[in-house]
Amino acid sequence: MRKLGGVRAPHRKGTAASAPERIPIPPEVRLPMSMHIGAPAKPVVKAGDAVKVGQLIGEASGFVSSPVHASVSGKVKRVDEYDAVTGLGALSVVIESDGEQTPHDGLRAPEVNDMKSFLGAVRESGVVGLGGAGFPTAVKLTVKDISAVDYILINGAECEPYITSDTRTMLDETELLEEGALLLGKYLGVKNIVFGVESNKPEPISRLAEFTSRRDGMEVRTLPAMYPQGGEKVLIYQITGRRVPEGKLPLDVGVVVLNCTTLTAIVKYIKTGMPLVSKCVTVDGSAVVKPGNVVAPIGAPLSSLFEFCGGLKGDVKKVLMGGPMMGIAAPSLDMPVLKATNAALAFSEKDARLPEETPCIRCGRCVSHCPMGLMPLEFERAYRLKKPELLERYKVNLCMECGCCAYSCPAKRMLVQYIKLSKIMLRERQAADKAAAERKEAAV
């Protein structure tokens, strides 16, 4: 078996014992129509409309898309284009909350009795990959030939430092996970359902084992506490020994991976009819006064989460949505909690400071730590030489941007930044090549 790279990042799971508390409903929430990968949802409300919790406000527009529901009751203040700093772009619906949290009258537990109705329910629940990826879950589960799938992996690795929201799911919603696993087995007919959890979470592991040991085809697998065990291809390899080939999906090797909180969100919808409208978020970081887990309505500004956790102290310099390895730096505290937001981290000046970049010494650390077996230093070189063909040869497309390379680089090269730029350069080259080929064809 190939030993995949990775890094022993610090765990910093200080909030693991903090049971999530609901934050007070903020006066205003902002729900972007594009909280998922794929086509943005289409707003079905307009300014002035009254909405209630769970009401559809944006409908899925196409197959790879996901609906959006109101997370608070109140009045739609406006539907506007959101500042695209973070690439959220598209439209978003701003709701002024009335503080009542009145549930929408139309909410009813969906009737689920076969695969089709099960998938329909997943689609309507608005659930997307809650581990951070945000890929519409219904799309992931809609498989041409489900009989070719023999493994569903429930991802509870939670390998990012700081984040403990999935840990809380596994501890606080163990029954929902059991129900979810049974539903998956029943409606998708998949034989093996395996939970993957890193060894630094013994409590969730034993909790899950309580029911998996009683159930046929269910199992908890302890993974080494080495980032990034939760990366999809890494997880699949560690548990099933299968490699997802280049350009293929987990499905092609008979595997579907779902994040554990994604699964409980589906179960909640199927049981109550309440779609995904709130989210457990870990609030932590050196600038947070009282770190802990919170449950926040989707669309709540990050500032409301920090306020609930005692506010921010000192010189706040960086705020992250997600973990420190792959999270996105928020340009402002007004950024809303998205469906896939699992952490809001705030850091003081000292921890936010960017280390100085020094010349690459070709030490090979980025190579030996890359879980995908890539040569990150060559990406930077090819990018600087403006040679997309080298990027292609070194397979920049296989990079999952996990950050292990930049994390371990002694020269502090900003490798992931160069990789992102490299991917754009390669795409542009491919588009130009295609256009040229078409022109040539047209000329003939």
Q: For residue 187, state whether it binds another protein (rule: CB under 8 A).
A: no
User: What is the distance between the alpha carbons of residues 395 and 373, in angstroms, rounded to a whole number?
Assistant: 10
**Binding partner of 376, given another protein, ligand SF4, none, CB within 5-8 angstroms per partner class:** ligand SF4
Q: For residue 416, state whether it binds ligand SF4 (rule: CB under 6 A).
A: yes
Q: For residue 430, state whether it binds another protein (rule: CB under 8 A).
A: no
Q: For residue 87, state whether it binds another protein (rule: CB under 8 A).
A: no
From the list 172, 185, 254, 244, the residue with the least C-alpha distance to 216 is 185
Q: Is 439 helix (H, G, I), strand (E, B) or coil?
A: helix
**Position among 13, 201, 413, 423 found at the interface with ligand SF4 (CB under 6 A):** 413
- 347 versus 407: smaller Cβ distance to ligand SF4: 407
Q: Is 132 helix (H, G, I), strand (E, B) or coil?
A: coil
Shortest Å, Cβ 377 to ligand SF4:
4
**Binding partner of 133, given another protein, ligand SF4, none, CB within 5-8 angstroms per partner class:** none
Q: For residue 372, state whether it binds another protein (rule: CB under 8 A).
A: yes
Q: For residue 310, state whether it binds another protein (rule: CB under 8 A).
A: no
Q: For residue 343, state whether it binds another protein (rule: CB under 8 A).
A: no
- 48 versus 247: smaller Cβ distance to another protein: 247
Shortest Å, Cβ 10 to another protein:
7
Q: For residue 4, state whether it binds ligand SF4 (rule: CB under 6 A).
A: no
- The number of CA neighbours under 13 Å toward the Cβ of 101 is 11
| 287 CB burial (10 A radius; 0-12, 13-18, 19+) | buried
The 111-150 site mask, x for binding another protein (CB under 8 A), equals: ----------------------------------------
CB-based contact 195:219 (threshold 8 Å): yes
| 28-32 and 255-259 beta bridge pairing | unpaired
Length, in residues, of the chain = 444
**Binding partner of 320, given ligand SF4, another protein, none, CB within 5-8 angstroms per partner class:** another protein
Q: For residue 96, state whether it binds ligand SF4 (rule: CB under 6 A).
A: no
Q: For residue 268, state whether it binds ligand SF4 (rule: CB under 6 A).
A: no
Q: For residue 315, state whether it binds another protein (rule: CB under 8 A).
A: yes
User: What is the distance between the alpha carbons of residues 125 and 67, in angstroms, rounded to a whole number?
Assistant: 8
Question: DSSP letters of 365-423?
Answer: HHHHH-TT---HHHHHHHHHTT-HHHHHHTTGGG-----HHHHH-TT---HHHHHHHHH
Shortest Å, Cβ 243 to ligand SF4:
15
Segment 236-265, which members bind another protein (CB under 8 A)? 237, 243-248
**Binding partner of 358, given ligand SF4, another protein, none, CB within 5-8 angstroms per partner class:** another protein
Q: For residue 154, state whether it binds another protein (rule: CB under 8 A).
A: no
Which token pair is 141?
Answer: 């589960």
Shortest Å, Cβ 129 to ligand SF4:
18
Q: Which region holds residue 296: left if phi is over 0, alpha if psi is between -120 and 50, else beta?
A: beta
Q: Is 122 helix (H, G, I), strand (E, B) or coil?
A: helix
- Residue 243: CB atoms within 10 Å: 12
| Residue 204 vs residues 158, 170, 175, 275, 409: alpha-carbon distances, Å | 11, 6, 12, 25, 33
* Radius of gyration in angstroms for the set of CA atoms belonging to the chain, rounded to a whole number: 22
Q: For residue 411, state whether it binds ligand SF4 (rule: CB under 6 A).
A: yes
- The number of CA neighbours under 13 Å toward the Cβ of 334 is 8
**Position among 11, 318, 339, 423 found at the interface with another protein (CB under 8 A):** 318
**Position among 161, 292, 299, 336 found at the interface with another protein (CB under 8 A):** 161
Amino acid identity, position 324: P
Q: In what order do the strands lie in the sheet with 343-348?
A: 21-22, 292-297, 278-284, 343-348, 316-321, 328-329
Total chain residues near another protein (CB under 8 A):
70
- 148 versus 361: smaller Cβ distance to ligand SF4: 361
**Position among 13, 30, 207, 233 found at the interface with another protein (CB under 8 A):** 233
Segment 338-377, which members bind ligand SF4 (CB under 6 A)? 360-366, 370-372, 374, 376-377
- Helices then strands, counting H and E runs in the chain, come out as 14, 17
CB-based contact 126:299 (threshold 8 Å): no
**Binding partner of 136, given ligand SF4, another protein, none, CB within 5-8 angstroms per partner class:** none
Distance of CA 193 to the CA centre of its chain: 21
- Point out which residues bind ligand SF4 (CB under 6 A): 360-366, 370-372, 374, 376-377, 399-405, 409-411, 413, 415-416, 419
Residues that bind another protein (CB under 8 A): 2, 4, 7, 9-10, 85, 161, 233, 237, 243-248, 315-320, 324-333, 347, 352, 354-355, 358-365, 367-368, 371-375, 377-378, 392-395, 398, 401, 403, 406-412, 414, 416-417, 420
